[in-house]
Amino acid sequence: MQTEEFTLVHGMLRSFAARYRVGSADDITPQSRMIAQKALDELGLTELRRASPPAATVQESALLAEEHGKQPLTTSLLGTILLAPELLRLVGTLPTSSRPTIALGQDLRFPGEHPSPLVAWDCDDADCALAVDAGGTVRYVGLGAAAPTTDPLRRVLETTGHGEVIGRLTPEAHRRWQAFALVVTASELVGAASSFVELSVEYARDRRQYGRSISSFQAVQHLLADATVLTQACTSVTRYAAWSLDHESSHQALAAARVAKAEVNTSAVEAVHAGMQVFGGIAQTWEHIAHLYLRRVLVGARLLATTADLLPALAAPHSESGPDRSARDAATTPTDPEPTR
């Protein structure tokens, strides 16, 4: 879209986020979720990635995901507005009256080679989910009961049935799908981490101990300086990955997306941990929003692919990165007995 048009869309999303942000975990109710999601839907963002060519570039989509992550919001932007329409576009399926989200493994990682139970992720107002197996086959699956999740801002549902096959991604499209999913997910985590660090800086300026602002204490300054460096690193690598999807080959774009997600998995969590230390005891309470940011980045660090999944794929020789290998690399196999959802 044109620069002025994107600036308008970005501004509308920022205003929406400021209005519908959650003040505490107690504010999360079915009614508040429904009202917020309806307001987000009215912005008309679902069409951004549905058409070919898309109305919004990957860079623009990533900036919107980053903006959405800055506030504690219960709305489904990634699942139903960015990821599902992008997948339908890549598989070549015409828009339908259904409103799908994305189905992932029970550990919220890319489904592996072997069939296993799936869950629908980020599914507010969704009526079905799209599942992509390791070979690129895409199918619809139904939605079931609520599944447990560590992140109270985001709904996760069980899926039902084996689903209807709607198409198959080409190796090129499969790589682009994986890269897009990694980039927009990483972008939302970047927004969450950078926003929380900014909140921590503001708190340090206002909080006084021993007659002085705690921002004057060197230990606090070091914490916040380190956290700021971490968020800047996340921002840089993620925005480059988004640019790569718009301008580079699918192999290069997927490599950049894996690097970005691996960096964000570690740095976003460390940055939020630093902010939690600055807030001190109040950040450990249920009423404070700090734990909502912490839960978001902890779950996000495992979402789609963990760092342990990504580094071996990045280290593999280029000569081995054929189409089939690319499909296998992003697919993950559960390694932990109790995954974080």
For the stretch 56-66, pLDDT in tens is 999 999 999 99
pTM of the complete model: 0.91
**Residue 341 — pLDDT band, cuts 50, 70, 90?**
low
**Residue 210 — pLDDT band, cuts 50, 70, 90?**
confident
Q: Following CA atoms 236, 240, 242, 243 in sequence, which dihedral angle do they give, to the nearest 10 degrees?
A: 140
Parallel, antiparallel, or unpaired for β 128-132 and 100-105? parallel
Asked if 113 and 331 touch (Cβ cutoff 8 Å), the reply is yes
How many residues in the chain?
A: 341
User: Is a pLDDT exceeding 80 seen at residue 327?
Assistant: no
**Residue 329 — pLDDT band, cuts 50, 70, 90?**
very low
Q: What is the largest CA-CA distance in the chain?
A: 66
Return the structure tokens found at 273.
């941990």
Residue 28 backbone class (left: φ over 0; alpha: ψ -120 to 50; beta: rest): beta
Average pLDDT over residues 14-28: 96
For 173-330, CATH gives 1.20.140.10
- Cα–Cα nearest to 76, from 106, 40, 42: 40
Gyration radius from the chain CA atoms: 20
- Euclidean distance between CA atoms 282 and 71, whole angstroms: 19
Q: Which of 99-113, 152-166, 185-199 has the highest mean pLDDT?
A: 185-199
In the chain, where are the structural domains located?
Answer: 173-330
Which DSSP symbol is given to 83?
A: I
User: Is a pLDDT exceeding 50 seen at residue 192?
Assistant: yes
